Chain A
């Protein structure tokens, strides 16, 4: 990475951490091992670990969807006819009065991935599958510039989001369209995030994140993971935004609904 790119990246992170305390934390963060060389498809053990974590996250989603709303939380009205995955996603949109989302009231698993030189963290709780971006990715004309195309998968078509252009359009590098290797799908919606590289999953405590208090702008940005200096995406919110942006979806996946 060039010096200029370093400066741009640092500026972006500085903006995210504008209110963070200047003093160093009392304890240094535990060194995190990063599998720099191994691609995910070459590391079966790590892939198996990710799949286990994704499965446990899905179970957690079901528990949240079935739980009664807690005091201090405004329940999100969910139409009964919504598919289970989508209904669960809608429940995950809630933020508590303590300034944290429903899915981060206790320790939670998150996945780190690289997007055009930037590290992003995503809570596992709303993730679906991780699969390679293939040459079957089909662009559609007339769509927003952050829409990369449709990719067929065993679970149906995935609408692939150009994550780099969506998250930081002001610093977008077209090279991302060649470097993106994987698509990380969001549970409940037919959307997935294109990423360059998937790194290791991490366990975060709510205190490990500087949560955003106002989310009027960039509502899909939940906060910043302090130890990793990376942005934490509010994936349920992002999934809802993408779903609502599709004029042909009417807020729900009509095809899924038909199958139900």
Chain B
């Protein structure tokens, strides 16, 4: 029979605290799971790849490895932005794939309980809505949490590997 301590531990596990790396994009604040973030780079020259999909900015050389960089604004259906001193490339790993996503700036790491994350609406027919895992009102702002595992489909990952 479960003891009270077991129940408390189970309850705490059900409402785990997760860390999210937050970044800004087109005036809004987004968050991604810190466990999927490898590193954050200052903006560096991105080599364009002819024939690459529209959401691909190009490739960079990361310590001898070729990393594809995604145009996050394009992926989310946002208006194009300008590169400035705050622009960063966030290197993420998902399902054994490593890519970079271009963001306007990186903010901070926030700690969120699972219970604090609320469902976001899903109205309309845009495929990009599936990227949103949830929302959370924290520190007087609304964080939009991104599910990086849905950022690219299996077919798109395969396509990127041929770049």
Contact = CB atoms under 8 A, between A and B. Distances in A.
A13 to B, nearest CB: 29
Contacts of A106: none
Interface residues of B, number: 25
Contacts, number: 74
Interface size class of A (residues with CB under 8 A): 20 to 34
A159 B132 contact: no
Contacts of B130: 142
Interface of B is mostly: mixed
Nearest to B141: A136
A157 B137 CA distance: 9
A247 interface: yes
A247 B123 CA distance: 6
B141 to A, nearest CB: 7
A142 B119 contact: no
B28 A142 contact: no
A249 interface: yes
Contacts of A143: 121-124, 126, 129
Given A142-B130, A142-B132, A255-B118, A245 B76 contact: no
A57 interface: no
24 contacts: A136-B142, A138-B141, A139-B28, A140-B132, A140-B135, A141-B76, A141-B131, A142-B76, A142-B129, A142-B132, A144-B123, A147-B123, A150-B120, A150-B121, A150-B135, A150-B142, A152-B137, A157-B142, A245-B123, A247-B122, A247-B123, A248-B119, A248-B122, A254-B119
Interface of A: 136, 138-145, 147, 150, 152, 157, 159, 190, 242, 245-249, 254-255
